[in-house]
């Protein structure tokens, strides 16, 4: 106890040290001691985690296997297992990927695009238009992926062209070509196994394989979307093509298409009919480029040189050959 100034011991009040400090120095009493367990850092909000971790949490909770997580997120399987363990999630199942038997299956690119647009708060209507699918199909795939619902006031429409160029919020590092080529390898007779070439992806050099060139041309003239053409080439020949690769080959073959009349659903009879009509409408004739020694489609509607393809005339990599050809032509004329 203490005796305050001006008070004698007989008249002084007995005051505790805490009371003196509180009254004389305006200090708060000492805080109670906390147990060590109560000092632990709060759990990190899911929204603050890296995108890949958020997707792993969502998709693993939806029951997807290690192989599926690896394929769609573009991670090696051992990295998927390590990350799941680090996130303290239940171990994902080890079942293999199944061959999809539906007429219009979702490609890996489409699934990744859906994820990117969903996380970017793009409306279901806009996502459906960009992927050329129904709104119910988008919602169903979203639930299948385990992606959560979004607040309505955060969702906005976006043009389809802009949706298709929206970058992924993560960088897939896994080469999925061998996986898809093996998964989609053309079916063999019962008891047979896919060839080794199919397991690593069949090769197709444009203009050098008449069967693949012809089939690709039919699918292109029929107006199938690039994503659907990629699926058909993978299913029928084991050739893996990205959407960008499909568009590039359509351009190099000079296949004329109406971008406002593209379709996604595959039906062989419809494809053959539409392809024949399109060829007849534009006056398409298959030619051989004398410079590149490969086939291309010359069309009466577009015009141009009949024996030299547009790729040779415009591609920068052939600039030197074009210059040499022009020089030889000038020399020949002078002679």
Q: What is the pLDDT of residue 194?
A: 47
* Angstrom distances, CA of residue 9 to CA of 16, 66, 278: 14, 80, 113
Task: At 264, list the tokens.
Answer: 């996604």
Tell me the longest C-alpha to C-alpha distance in the chain: 135
Mean pLDDT, rounded, for 115-144: 94
Residues 148 and 40: their CA atoms lie apart, in Å, by: 28
Structure confidence by residue, pLDDT tens digits, 159-199? 998 998 999 999 999 998 888 877 776 655 554 444 444 44
Is pLDDT of 123 > 90?
Answer: yes
Backbone angles phi, psi at 288, to 5 degrees: -115, 125
**For residues 151 and 158, what is the distance between their CA atoms, to the nearest angstrom?**
17
**209/252 Cα distance (integer angstroms):** 15
Give domain limits for the chain: 1-32, 46-86, 180-329
238-267 per-position pLDDT tens digit:
888 888 899 999 999 999 998 889 988 888
Q: Which two structure tokens, joined as six digits, stand for 308?
A: 């030299």
The reported pTM is 0.64
Q: Which helix (H) or strand (E) holds 278?
A: helix 268-282
| Angle at the Cα of 218 from the Cα atoms of 284 and 229, rounded to 5 degrees | 130
d(CA 97, CA 216): 27
125: Cβ contacts below 8 Å, ≥ 6 apart: 135, 157
CA distance 298 to 75: 43
Give me the mean pLDDT over the 32-48 stretch. 53
- Residue 84 pLDDT > 50: yes
Whole-Å CA distances, 104 to 176, 189, 257, 270: 20, 23, 21, 15
Q: Tokens for 60, please give them.
A: 């693993």
């Amino acid at each position: 106890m203490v005796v305050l100034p001006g008070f004698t011991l007989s008249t002084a009040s007995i005051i505790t040290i805490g009371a003196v400090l509180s009254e004389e120095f305006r200090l708060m009493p000492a805080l109670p001691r906390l147990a060590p367990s109560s000092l632990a850092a709060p759990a990190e909000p899911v929204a603050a985690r890296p995108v890949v971790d958020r997707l792993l949490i969502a998709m693993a909770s939806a029951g997807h296997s290690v192989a599926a997580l690896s394929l769609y997120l573009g991670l090696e399987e051992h990295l998927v297992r390590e990350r799941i363990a680090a996130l303290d999630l239940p171990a994902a199942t080890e079942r293999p990927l199944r061959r999809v038997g539906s007429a219009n299956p979702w490609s890996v690119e489409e699934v990744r695009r859906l994820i990117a647009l969903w996380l970017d708060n793009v409306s279901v209507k806009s996502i459906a238009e960009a992927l050329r699918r129904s709104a119910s199909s988008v919602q169903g795939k979203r639930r299948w992926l385990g992606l959560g619902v979004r607040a309505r006031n955060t969702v906005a429409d976006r043009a389809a062209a802009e949706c298709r160029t929206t970058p992924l919020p993560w960088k897939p590092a896994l080469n999925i070509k061998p996986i898809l080529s093996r998964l989609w390898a053309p079916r063999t007779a019962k008891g047979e196994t896919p060839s080794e070439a199919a397991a690593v992806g069949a090769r197709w050099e444009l203009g050098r394989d008449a069967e693949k060139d012809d089939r690709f041309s039919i699918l292109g003239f029929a107006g199938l979307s690039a994503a659907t053409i990629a699926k058909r080439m993978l299913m029928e020949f084991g050739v893996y093509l990205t959407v960008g690769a499909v568009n590039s080959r359509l351009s190099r073959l000079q296949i004329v298409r109406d971008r406002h009349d593209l379709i996604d659903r595959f039906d062989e009879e419809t494809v053959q009919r539409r392809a024949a009509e399109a060829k007849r409408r534009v006056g398409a004739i298959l030619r051989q480029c004398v410079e590149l020694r490969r086939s291309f489609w010359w069309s009466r509607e577009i015009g141009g040189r009949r024996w030299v393809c547009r790729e040779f005339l415009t591609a920068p990599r052939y600039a030197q050959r074009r210059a040499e050809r022009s020089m030889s032509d000038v020399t020949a004329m002078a002679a």
